[in-house]
Amino acid sequence: MNFNELNLDTKVLKAISETGYTAPTPIQAEGIPPALEGKDVLGIAQTGTGKTAAFSIPMINRLIKGRARARMPRTLVLAPTRELAAQVAENFETYSKHVKLSMALLIGGVSFKDQDQKIDRGVDVLIATPGRLLDHVERGKLMLSGIEIMVVDEADRMLDMGFIPDIERIFKMTPFTRQTLFFSATMPPEITRLTQEFLSNPTRIEVARASSASNNIAQALVSVSSAKKDGLAKAKRDGLRAILAEESDTVTNAIIFCNRKRDIGILEKSLKKHGFSVGSLHGDLDQSVRMATLDAFRDNKISLLVASDVAARGLDIPDVSHVFNFDVPTHSEDYVHRIGRTGRAGRSGKAFTLASPAEAKYVEQIETMLKEKIPRKDLPGAVEKDPVSDAIEADAGTGTGRSKSRRGSRRKPSADIQDTSAADHQAQSTETENRREQRPQNADPVQPDSPRRHRNARGRDKEDRGPRVKGLGDHMPAFMLIPIPDLSKRTETGDSGIENRDAA
């Protein structure tokens, strides 16, 4: 099948051909026809399969006829992050270049004034994040009563970010006659409930098993451990650099995911120190900085991007050859989205996950979701056995992911050790008694001229550095030389207050 068979407008087909695409992906081939007919669509597909084009192309085709009114957009696309919303806007610009359509992008980090001006002129396509959209609605600058088509992209990410109450509120602001296109890579129970409440007899399209990884991605799990309590982060950084060196011939662009924002900065500085071209991306950065970093990454000005899960959803960067999970994601669904940044559009990719024994429970959850084991890979230069697999096996055997406690690891000495200790103690006692018998009765218990050994507070033997001092020795403090006053004379002369009170 090719796009010419999908009954699209010639202007839309011309824009598609100029992008170089001739054949639609499975989600596009199955999703575009019902969307063109005005039916609700529920699309479930892996990330990187072309879901954005699956809803943007039919929307543009239907918007060719008609005109938007001020503050009343005709279509609405909701995205969970600013980056994904900006990427959706780029797709609309690409496929609508030969069609006169107006578009507005409502995301945080951008002036309200500029966004209000676009809304006042009327927009055919409104692309927004839930929070900024509701801000405009509450300010009285936007009305959703004219929405004809509503799209929810990356719905499961909306759930993770706590946007479901906002999504429900936005749904209730739109007319019930709207057409709804709902796309997600996974279908947790809460998302299923949402689709049952707000979609009307949707056409369900599932081109891949939910929560599954692409077959184009070669996965590997690398175990990392450290004998030092605070040395695990350094061990992971060393392991990451070792893998980067081993894969240096095939790495073009790579995204490195961390769970915590503070680790992103530390890892970025470490990689820069070792000569890598690296940038960072997380939610605390200013929007202009985030967009500039993404542009530099797309243009190959930087080859490594250390990021939080803000880069795990929807970002389409075709040349990403590798993904590294510096930390194992705590939510198993995030693993699919993270590694989905590579192996896109039919390309091959590699995904490495650095896991410590403490993260074994998260690895087990991911493998349960994938219904397969992640292939293990030895750390370059390491000869030790896999501690993560050992932790998972221990978890399966005991029902908990914890190893034996330290208290439990203190073993009692064996009988042989106890017998030896008792014999040594008896021998020392006998020797001490013999020394006491040989000592003269009138001898000083402490002999300064004889070398002595004593134990300090930690029980380590130290040589005596001189004779033991008794009391203050020959030194007399000055305060002890002050003569004591004769209090008896004061009593006789009446100087004592006590004597005077008694007399009274």
Distance (Å, whole) CA 312 – CA 10: 35
Distance separating the N- and C-terminal Cα atoms of the chain:
124
Distance of CA 291 to the CA centre of its chain: 20
CATH number at 193 reads: 3.40.50.300
Tokens in use for 477?
Answer: 């403090």
Q: Are residues 275 and 338 in the same domain?
A: yes
Specify the number of domains making up the chain.
2
pLDDT at position 342 is 87
Does pTM surpass 0.85?
no
Task: Show the tokens assigned to 45.
Answer: 């597909």
Residue 245 and residue 367 in one domain: yes
The pLDDT value recorded for residue 450 is 44
Please report, in tens digits, the pLDDT of each residue of the chain (504 residues total).
Answer: 789 899 899 999 999 999 888 889 889 999 999 999 999 999 987 766 788 999 999 999 999 988 888 899 999 999 998 888 988 999 999 999 999 999 999 998 888 999 999 999 999 999 999 999 999 999 999 999 999 999 999 888 888 788 999 999 999 999 999 999 999 877 888 999 999 999 999 999 988 665 667 788 999 999 998 888 678 899 999 999 999 999 988 999 999 999 988 899 999 999 999 999 999 988 788 878 888 898 899 888 999 999 988 776 656 676 789 999 999 999 887 898 888 888 876 788 999 999 999 999 999 999 998 889 999 999 876 544 556 665 665 555 554 444 444 444 444 444 444 444 444 445 555 555 555 555 544 444 444 444 444 444 444 444 455 555 555 556 677 777 787 777 766 555 554 444 444 444
For β-strands 41-44 and 320-325, DSSP reports them as unpaired
CA distance readout (Å), 440 to 433, 435, 436, 468, 474: 13, 10, 8, 20, 28
Classify residue 438: in a domain, yes or no. no
Picking from 252, 253, 220, the residue whose alpha carbon sits closest to that of residue 239 is 220
Whether 105 contacts 112, CB under 8 Å: no
400, 381: one domain: yes
Supply 312's token pair. Answer: 């795990």
Q: Residue 133's CB: how many other CB atoms inside 10 A?
A: 22
Same-domain check for residues 233 and 198: no
Same domain, 64 and 191: yes
Answer yes or no: are the C-beta atoms of 84 and 291 closer than 8 Å. Answer: no
Query: What is the spatial distance between Cα 420 and Cα 203, in angstroms, rounded to a whole number?
Result: 80
Cα atoms found within 13 Å of the Cα of residue 225, Cβ hemisphere only: 16
Decide if 139 is inside a domain. yes
From the list 426, 365, 354, the residue with the least C-alpha distance to 392 is: 365
Structure token digits, residue 354: 């650095």
Quote the domain boundaries for residue 188: 3-206
474, exposed or middle or buried, with CB in 10 Å at 0-12, 13-18, 19+?
Answer: exposed
Indicate whether 156 and 61 sit together in one domain. Answer: yes
Are 41 and 98 in the same domain?
Answer: yes
Strand partners, 126: 76, 104
Q: Is residue 320 within 8 Å of 349, Cβ to Cβ?
A: yes
Token pair listed for 259 = 């769970």
**CA separation for the pair 326, 175 (Å, rounded):** 45
pLDDT of residue 315: 67
In this structure, the strands spanning 453-455 and 461-463 are antiparallel
Decide which of 206, 230, 256 is a domain's last residue.
206
User: What single DSSP character describes residue 316?
Assistant: -
Are residues 266 and 180 located together in one domain of the fold? Answer: no
Shared-domain flag, residues 186 and 231: no
Q: Of 277, 270, 240, 245, nearest to 257 (Cα)?
A: 240
Domain end position, chosen among 380, 404, 428: 404
Concatenated DSSP letters for 172-233? HHS-TT-EEEEEES---HHHHHHHHHH-SS-EEEESS-TT---TTEEEEEEE---SSTT-HH
On whether residue 52 sits in a domain, the answer given is yes
Residues 167 and 248 in one domain: no
Same domain, 9 and 37: yes
Last residue within a domain, chosen from 176, 206, 236: 206
pLDDT value for 32? 95
Cα 344 to Cα 47: distance, rounded to the nearest angstrom = 8
Q: What is the pLDDT of residue 95?
A: 94
Q: Looking at the structure, tell me whether residues 268 and 162 fall in a common domain.
A: no
Place of tokens 């950065």: 285
DSSP state of 72: B
Instruction: Report yes or no: 220 and 246 within 8 Å, Cβ to Cβ.
Output: no
